[in-house]
Amino acid sequence: MPIDLICLDADDTLWHNMRHFVAAEQALLAMLAPFTDAGVARDTLTACETRNLPLYGYGAKGFTLSMIETALELGGDALPANVVREILTAGRDLLGHPVELLDGIEETLDALATRGRLVLVTKGDLLHQEVKLAASGLGDRFAGIEIVSDKTPATFARIFARYDVRPAHAVMAGDSMRSDVLPVIEAGGWGAYIPQPLAWDHEHAPAPVIHTRFAQLQSLAELPEWIDMIGRGDA
């Protein structure tokens, strides 16, 4: 069964991302140290992010707003104005960090391009994702760019229809079980999970217990061989 469409996540699949969010979170915890301990601050931020996702969506801008809300919740009227200014600075740094490709990404994309059409499927703030893609220098390697508010089975069904491919001939690879694997499998495609150690808690989900259209890989460099296995009927 040949694969015709190869969908790839961007953040922490093609380039480093979560390390910058972790740095911003650590900066916030240091700012809030006079008001509470790090564990409480971290839990409050996580709850705030989860609560705000339907309002702000994914990305650095929503994360910055959640950091400000967390600081106001924990610091109250005693929160100095300079803390908000420092959070805004951390947010700007998060939006402006350099794009650092993961090792071997360009060679892997070259190998994948010989096996099917490449489509980038990423979620988050439209402008920020476009800026990162431009800075990566990888944009011309993709037949399509899909920046979506969330990744659901319906999202992948629309993508399959847009690129005129049957679900069984499409694969999605990324570092989120919740967003990159489970919904594409539900939509009828193949899902490759490439875990990374700094994954956001919100993206965690149990792996499929038994499923022939799922694989866990050590790196994106293993994806071409898995696609070959699918084509041979060995996956």
pLDDT digits (tens, 9 = 90+) for 151-166: 999 999 999 999 999 9
pLDDT digits (tens, 9 = 90+) for 116-136: 999 999 998 889 999 999 999
CATH for 5-15+100-232, options being 3.40.50.720, 2.40.110.10, 3.40.50.1000, 3.40.50.2000: 3.40.50.1000
CA pseudo-torsion sign 217, 209, 8, 188: positive
pLDDT at 208: 83
Nearest one of 126, 194, 122, 182 to 152, comparing CA atoms = 182
pLDDT at 130: 94
pLDDT digits (tens, 9 = 90+) for 31-80: 999 999 999 999 999 999 999 998 998 899 999 999 999 999 999 989 99
The residue to which tokens 């490759």 are assigned = 192
| Tokens at 65, concatenated | 């707003």
Residues recorded for the chain = 235
Residue 205's pLDDT band, with cuts at 50, 70 and 90, is confident
Q: What's the predicted TM-score (pTM) here?
A: 0.91
CATH of domain 18-96: 1.10.150.240
The residue to which tokens 């008001």 are assigned = 35
Domain residue limits, the chain? 5-15+100-232, 18-96
